[in-house]
Amino acid sequence: MNSPGSRPASPPPADPAPVPGAGATLTAGPVGKPPAGRTDTDPLSRLRRLADLRNLSLVGVLAVLIAVGGFTKPDEFLSTDNLQLVLTQASVIGVVTVGVTFVITSGGIDLSVGAIVALASVWATTVATQDYGLGGILLCAVLVGLGCGLVNGVLIAYGGMVPFIATLAMLASARGLALHISDGKTQVVTVNQVLDLGLPDAYVLGIPPLVMIFAAVTVVGWLVFNRTTFGRRTVAIGGNAEAARLAGIDVRRQRLLLYLLSGLCCGVAAFMLVVLTGSGQNTNGNLYELDAIAAAIIGGTLLSGGRGTITGSVLGVLVFTTITNLFALNNLQSDVQQIAKGAIIVAAVLVQKGRSTP
Amino acid sequence: MAPAPPDPRPLLTMSAITKSFPGVRALDGVDLDVAAGEVHCLLGQNGAGKSTLIKVVAGAHQPDSGEIRWRGEPVTLKSPIAAMRLGIATIYQELDLVEGLSVAENVFLGHEMATGGFVRSRAARTATAALLARLGHPEIDPGRLVGDLSAAGQQIVSMARALSHDVRLIVMDEPSAALDPDEVDNLFRIVGDLTAAGVSVVYISHRLEEIRRIGDRVTVLKDGRAAARGLPARTTPTREIVALMTGRDVEYAFPRRSTAPSVASATPVLRLENLGRAGEFEPIDLEVAPGEIVGLAGLVGSGRSEILETVYGARRPTSGRVLVDGRPLRPGSVTAAVRAGLGLAPEERKAQALLMLESVTRNVSVSSLTRFSRAGWVDRGAERAAARRCVRDLSLHPDDPERPVRTLSGGNQQKAVLARWLLRGCRVLLLDEPTRGVDVGARAELYAVIRRLADDGMAVLLVSSELPEVLGLADRVLVLREGRVVHTAPARELDEHRVLDLVMEGSPS
């Protein structure tokens, strides 16, 4: 391995056997060293990793839901149209949830996501913005999201505010600003390029563009979470912020970046919502914060931080969206739906609690 | 060594109490007996097992084994309520008061005076006022919010709460820590009144002079065992007590010091210039060369850990600066310190160093992530290989870097922290109580590891409450007293007695 950093020590390269010279002071070494060739392909650690896939139970829940749908409404539920609908509905909240998962894993919380989506969708659909066409709308939504995330991040990371309070304040002000800009009116999109993205003609191999955006955000989110230093640091500061700080991680900078990321996801989601509804309005994204947090939690992300999973969050979103769809198809009222959601949250958290208790 | 207690039937007798937590054995067969009406002092370094022991007495921890007798009868203290019912009250160091409730509400919290579910506030206030008067503080208004009181006032409220039960034994965990001298006098008067009424007090303190004033007998804890039981508090020589707290029962094989002539003449890698923090330690000048281990010796409160944390940037100095390779560090920035090649193994390993949910590998690599990444992308193969190499290099056991770090013993958790800095290529290692919470048997191995890291070119700054550890491991020792360096000498020119004299000079003996 050619690592750029140099170590002061000159340990025996490649040779795992104890070198007499260096090992002389280490007489009290462990007894019975296992063979050197032990890697993570060994069955034990593999099993552990598999057990870490707590998402398995969510996949099971999803399978049951699909089976229920298949039995009760075989023609409608499994139709291409309906599947496209379910996935499209999951896309907007799904993108928001990916960002929120990062924030929660870091030990924070973002209550302002729904309000940011509303503000970004309104700002991006003003007459002035629409003059710049598709690019202008997308750029505006993303910039508004990043701007709100920046304010959140600065207040929390450098202002020392509690995330709950800072983002609660953002929730209130962003919704207020959205109302102010739109004057409570629905702003209809007149840019055809944007509207076309929501039409079946834009589907590629039957996949709506919004679903593709969701898929892309999920994949990128998963990679960032699991494969980058950014993801590692997120988990580290959520697990033990003091230890992370003393290990040399710039905790404040990381926190700022996390809320920026959440804001970015909101901006993208706002654009998707504009495409989906062909409009922007200040009531958009209502209660997204609760849906996103709930999805992340049932997916297996710890509300106290230190552990999170993008896959779990996305499965959580799919479970919730599928339930909504099933209930609608079976003409059940939304009150029953809400109760079912609550029950699922409780059940999922209890299952995780049982598992994580040592 | 200890004289038999005069009372044939002690109030509380604990025998062979053991209590383990994951990775460490906090109590390893402790005996304690408390006679009726005595002040029994409990002494020991941080981590000696005092807190665990008093939590067992309070019913907050269940012992793994051992017997507890209360007035001769075997009992189990299965909850804090069970202990309270027997008449055991505990005043914790971190006061456990609800700041948003009034004094009277706090005093009767959990056993409110009530009729049919309705709290009789006036009766509670009257009773509280009587208790406060008995404690010599009639001026505290029972209706005031506890959050508005000073630390001393809150302490009185805690005491009133203890007395609101029919109490026979009060455990006080460092009650004087937050008090000024006048308030301490009042505290002692209260303790005197209590014992005169037949109540026993278990008194925990670091301050020997207090124990002289109010203590009857002393039990010294060390490494989860009673190093001495029931010593007479007033007549046992200070030196003997301190030696019991800091000494070793076992002789350790310390690794041989480096004999390379280069060490003494090498260019110092770490330099402290006039580094000070007002109120914590006076300005200090120090140079540490690669391959050298410098030890800071002193009692709790002498400023040892504060110096380390200031060097590391975790505290901002009020004077002077830290230089690494002649370049000054940005003050108060851990990130800058780590970038310059400093590494800290902090005192509270679990709270300050480890990511308990994570594997050994991730704990080791967390400070070197950029080494294994391009454009933020972590090369996990390289990461694992490097972590594995460090883990092998330090003989970390078990030899599986994918294990969760929380399943490791204290000694191996410490090795994981050292491996982090070894991997980082750190050049100055700051060790704060490196063998705290490490089983006695595993310490020699850590000593060998630390010495070898030094031999490989690291500069080491070591803080320890264990004098033999500092003297055995360090090349050079700085003796601290009350935030001031009072002596500097090569370790081989010092012995425990000499250091004890220096540490205690001027304090009553």
| pLDDT tens-digit map of B31-73 | 999 999 999 999 887 667 888 899 999 998 999 999 999 998 8
**CATH match for B10-246 among 3.40.50.300, 1.10.8.50, 3.20.20.80, 3.40.1130.10:** 3.40.50.300
CA distance B139 to chain A (A): 37
Q: Which of B354, B425, B451 sits opposite A8 (nearest CB)?
A: B425
User: Tokens 């958790």 correspond to what residue?
Assistant: B413
Domains B10-246 and B269-340+475-508 share a fold: yes
**pLDDT band of B23, cuts 50, 70, 90:** low
Q: Which residues 42-101 of chain A have a CB within 8 Å of chain B?
A: 45, 48
Q: Has residue B303 got a pLDDT over 70? A: yes
pLDDT recorded at residue A175? 95
Mean pLDDT of B179-208: 85
**What is the C-alpha to C-alpha distance for residues A101 and A303, in angstroms, rounded to an integer?**
9
Kindly determine whether residue A232 and residue B366, on different chains, have CB atoms separated by under 8 Å: yes
- First-to-last alpha carbon distance for chain B, in angstroms, is 20
**What is the C-alpha to C-alpha distance for residues B138 and B180, in angstroms, rounded to an integer?**
19
Kindly determine whether residue A246 and residue B255, on different chains, have CB atoms separated by under 8 Å: no
B272 forms beta bridges with: B286, B322
Mean pLDDT of B161-188: 84
Mean pLDDT of B425-443: 85
Encode pLDDT of B347-398 as tens digits. 888 889 999 889 999 999 999 888 888 888 888 899 999 999 998 988 888 8
The interface predicted TM-score (ipTM) is 0.71
Mean pLDDT of B452-474: 90
pLDDT recorded at residue B309? 93
Sheet holding B270-277, edge to edge: B281-288, B270-277, B319-324, B327-328
For residue A344, what are the domain limits? Answer: 65-355
B312 in A contact zone (CB under 8 Å): yes
Neighbours of A205 (CB within 10 A): 5
**pLDDT band of A23, cuts 50, 70, 90:** very low
Q: Has residue B469 got a pLDDT over 90? A: no
Higher pLDDT, A150 or A131: A150
**What is the C-alpha to C-alpha distance for residues B97 and B162, in angstroms, rounded to an integer?**
12
Q: Which of A11, A29, A245 sits opposite B334 (nearest CB)?
A: A245
Q: Of how many residues is chain A composed?
A: 358
Q: Which of A3, A8, A248 sits opposite B458 (nearest CB)?
A: A8
Would you tell me the crossing angle of helices A55-72 and A288-299 to the nearest 10 degrees?
110
CATH number of the domain within which A340 lies:
1.10.3470
User: Tokens 């010593």 correspond to what residue?
Assistant: B231
User: Tokens 């309705």 correspond to what residue?
Assistant: B118
B46 in A contact zone (CB under 8 Å): no
Mean pLDDT of A305-326: 92
**What is the C-alpha to C-alpha distance for residues A14 and B393, in angstroms, rounded to an integer?**
12
**pLDDT band of B299, cuts 50, 70, 90:** confident
Q: What is the tally of structural domains in chain A?
A: 1
Kindly determine whether residue A246 and residue B385, on different chains, have CB atoms separated by under 8 Å: no
Across all residues in chain B, what is the average pLDDT? Answer: 86
- Hey, of A2, A6, A7, A50, which one would you mutate to test binding to chain B, going by the most B CBs within 10 A of its CB? A7
Percentage above 90 pLDDT, chain B:
36
CA distance B103 to chain A (A): 29
Q: Which residues 176-235 of chain A have a CB within 8 Å of chain B?
A: 227-230, 232-233, 235
Closest by CA to B437, choosing from B362, B346, B319, B498, is: B346
Q: B269-340+475-508 domain in CATH 3.40.50.300?
A: yes
Kindly determine whether residue A244 and residue B384, on different chains, have CB atoms separated by under 8 Å: no
Whether the predicted model's global pTM rises above the 0.80 cut: no
Beta carbons of B57 and B31 less than 8 angstroms apart? no
Query: Alpha carbon of B62 to those of B34, B170, B218: distances in Å?
Result: 19, 19, 24
B13 forms beta bridges with: B33, B69
> Domain-by-domain residue ranges, chain B?
10-246, 269-340+475-508
Q: Has residue B237 got a pLDDT over 60? A: yes
Q: Has residue A26 got a pLDDT over 50? A: no
Mean pLDDT of B212-217: 89
Q: Which residue of B has its CA nearest to A306?
A: B357
Cβ contacts below 8 Å, chain A against chain B, sum to 135
**What is the C-alpha to C-alpha distance for residues B435 and B16, in angstroms, rounded to an integer?**
24
**What is the C-alpha to C-alpha distance for residues B498 and B501, in angstroms, rounded to an integer?**
5
Q: Which residues 271-330 of chain A have a CB within 8 Å of chain B?
A: 306-307
**What is the C-alpha to C-alpha distance for residues B237 and B32, in angstroms, rounded to an integer?**
21
Mean pLDDT of A225-231: 91
B354 in A contact zone (CB under 8 Å): yes
Encode pLDDT of A85-111 as tens digits. 999 999 999 999 999 999 999 999 999
Across all residues in chain A, what is the average pLDDT? Answer: 84
Mean pLDDT of B81-91: 89
